[in-house]
Structure 1
Amino acid sequence: MRKLLLVLGVSVLVLSACHKATEDSVTNPSTPREQETKEVTNYFHYLAASYQKALSHEKEAKDTAVQSPMAATLVAMEELQLSNPTDQALIMKNYSDFQKLVQYNTEKWQEEFASWASSMGQSYHRLEHRNFDEKNELIEKLETTTVSQKKVRWNIFGVSSDNAYDYLVLDAYYDDQARHFYLFTLKDGQAQVLYADKTLETISAVNFEETENTDLAQGFKEFLLKTGVTTENEPDADNSALIDKIKVAMESYSDSKSEKFKSTNLATYGRYYGLAVPDQIMQFGQVDGENYTFKWHGYTVGEKRFEILACYVNEAGTEVILFGYKDGRPTILHTEGQPEIEKNEAGTIINAQVHFASFHQPILEGVFN
Structure 2
Amino acid sequence: MSQSLERAAEAGRPAGGDADVRRTRFKVSADLSIASTPLPNTYALYPTPRRPAMAVMPMPTPRSLILLLLLATPFFILLPHPSAASVSHPDLILPKVVNDNEAHVVVLTAANFSSFLAARRHVVVDFYAPWCYWSCKLAPKYAAAASHLADKGLDVALAKVDATQERQLARAHGVEGYPTVLFFVDGVPRHYPYYGERTKDAMVVWVSQRSVPEVQNVSTIYEAEKIITGHGVAVLAFLDSRSGAHGDELAAASRLEDMNSLYRAVNFYQTTSPDVAKLFHIDPEAKRPSLVLLNKQEEKLTLYDGEFRASLIAKFVSDNKIPLITYHHHTGSRLSDI
Same fold (TM over 0.5): no
Normalising by structure 2, report the TM-score: 0.23
Normalising by structure 1, report the TM-score: 0.21
- From the CA coordinates, give the structure whose radius of gyration is larger: 2
